[in-house]
Amino acid sequence: MIDLSKLTIQTAHEFLVKGDFTARELAQAYLDAVAAKDGGKNGENGIGAYLGVYDDVLAQADVAQKLIEAERAGGPTYPLAGIPLAVKDNILIEGKPAQSASKILEGYIAPYDATAIKKLKEAGAVFIGRANMDEFAMGGSTENSAYQTTKNPHDLSRVAGGSSGGSAAAVAADMALGALGSDTGGSVRQPASYCGVVGLKPTYGSISRYGLMAMGSSLDVIGPIAKSVGDVEILFNAMKGKDAFDGTSIDVEEYRSGAIKDDTTGKKPVIGVPRAFLVGDGIDTDVMKAFDASIARFKELGYEVKDIELPNIGYSLAVYYVVMPAEVSSNLARFDGVKYGAYKEGATGIEDYFETRGEYFGREARRRVMLGTYVLSSGYYDAYYNKANAVRDLIKADFAKAFSPEGFGVDAIITPTAPAVAFKVGEKVSDPVSMYLEDIFTVTANLVGVPAISLPAGHKEVDGKRMPIGMQLTSAHGREDVLFALGKDLLGEKAA
Ligand code: GLN
């Protein structure tokens, strides 16, 4: 019996190379865990992290075993060979269903691999199945999935967060060693925080968006979820890089000026606290206690922590909820019933379009298409869309000032990831605005394009359950290295 609760990607790799178990045995152990805990079709009797498990998992593991044997024979290192991963349902794997948890893509089979998937395949990763999500990544609880709600492994009466809730729950419940999510306004970090695992929203463009179904194209990025910072780093390194298929993709290293401070100067990086953003009664007191404890820990570790100002950060949520639906309304226009997925016939060609979209898009998707169309319509374009973009520039300037040596000169900014712990299933479904408020701390990194990581940093006791609390660190463009170093320090992981 392999004890999955103790494994990380790093330790599993060591065991695989030593021959303690094979990739097939490891894959089988995860398939057994899914069968035992996930609750079957639509996840009714369990966690509900997976929309489907692939039928070729063991065959994938056999292919990976060859890389492991090559490494054992003295060849190159393959840190992800044989590592079982869950993949969010909006990321394409050739020949496999991908639906963004939407009825409108019922029956759709991906015709090609996303670039991130192609790279992971080359690295020998094993894909277990499609992780549940909010439809087209819109939401913060997976309750907008057209198929099922993913439950929090720490308390099945609570949500796993979203939109990458299936990915985070799969990792937290040891039904995958790592997972891919996508993050447009917090969808990797918030579920990671709710489920007590690590989630990275990388620098915009650092991982190609080719083969990721578009939600808000100026905000979207694929991000890894895993049990440790070191594991998240391995996944990020395997997927990152400039890609000819995505004109917005970049090589993060080109954005790095200089090593992490500690390496060269002996001085630790400086951490900024946007104090004015953290007052008020919207934040749970236990979350604030965990936040203060994380700051105290960083100080103990020798970091300088200082207050900074981000004067326009308070507008982030309003800006996000204008820019994002505008982009959603245009990106979702392609789902017309003609090219992919479900189709409902109407009286005329144009009626087909209305019938199909009216029937197969869920409420939240329709709400955002309408909001986005409204803010882009001729009478309101300047008042909403252009205004939001102008304020987005001010927020970017605030962050540039925070990270610049001429400004506050900090290397990272710390906030909680979410204002509270995971809420109850059903608690916020009839109140979209209260759901949107959960995104208060996460949307800024997407608006600015900078990387941010959520780290498990404490618990709150509720109803006899220990619900995880997450802390978010944000750094400058391309400085994932800073997030990994600080994250490992905070969690007490040995630097790899
Ligand atoms: N919860 C946010 C929203 O509903 C974030 C979604 C995301 O990052 N995909 O838009």
Contact, 468 vs 154, CB < 8 A? yes
| Whole-number average pLDDT of the chain | 96
| pLDDT < 50: residue spans in the chain | 496
In short, whether 223's Cβ falls inside 6 Å of ligand 1 is no
Alpha-carbon distance 433 to 319, whole Å?
14
Look at residue 371 and tell me if it is in a domain: no
In the chain, the amino acid numbered 421 is V
Task: Provide CB contacts within 8 A for 162, sequence distance 6+.
Answer: 133, 134, 139, 140, 141, 142, 143, 144, 150, 187, 190, 191
Tokens of 367: 């709400």
Q: Which residues are catalytic?
A: 88, 163, 187
Look at residue 105 and tell me if it is in a domain: yes
- The pLDDT, as a whole number, for residue 42 is 87
- The pLDDT, as a whole number, for residue 416 is 98
Look at residue 168 and tell me if it is in a domain: yes
Q: Give the number of the atom of ligand 1 that is nearest the alpha carbon of residue 183.
A: 8
In short, whether 325's Cβ falls inside 6 Å of ligand 1 is no
Task: Provide CB contacts within 8 A for 182, sequence distance 6+.
Answer: 88, 90, 91, 137, 163, 164, 188, 212, 215, 220, 221, 222, 223
Residue corresponding to tokens 């996930």: 38
- Output the residue whose Cα is nearest ligand 1's atom 4: 139
Query: Mind listing the pLDDT tens digit for each residue in 25-53?
Result: 999 999 999 999 999 888 888 999 999 99
CATH number for the domain that contains residue 241: 3.90.1300.10
DSSP 8-state assignment for residue 99: -
Q: What is the 329 CA–ligand 1 centroid distance (Å)?
A: 14
- CA-nearest of 412, 119, 72 to 237 is 119
Look at residue 178 and tell me if it is in a domain: yes
- The pLDDT, as a whole number, for residue 495 is 58
Alpha-carbon distance 478 to 160, whole Å?
29
Task: Provide CB contacts within 8 A for 228, sequence distance 6+.
Answer: 8, 9, 10, 198, 491, 493
In short, whether 144's Cβ falls inside 6 Å of ligand 1 is no
Query: Mind listing the pLDDT tens digit for each residue in 125-140?
Result: 999 999 999 999 999 9
| Domain that includes residue 132, residue range | 4-253
Q: How many domains does the chain have?
A: 1
Q: Return the number of other C-beta atoms located less than 10 Å from residue 432's C-beta.
A: 18
3-state secondary structure at position 416: strand
Look at residue 331 and tell me if it is in a domain: no
Look at residue 195 and tell me if it is in a domain: yes
Output phi, psi for 78, to 5 deg: -120, 85
Q: What is the 32 CA–ligand 1 centroid distance (Å)?
A: 31
Look at residue 108 and tell me if it is in a domain: yes
Look at residue 197 and tell me if it is in a domain: yes
- The pLDDT, as a whole number, for residue 303 is 96
Beta strands in 417-464 (DSSP E): 452-462
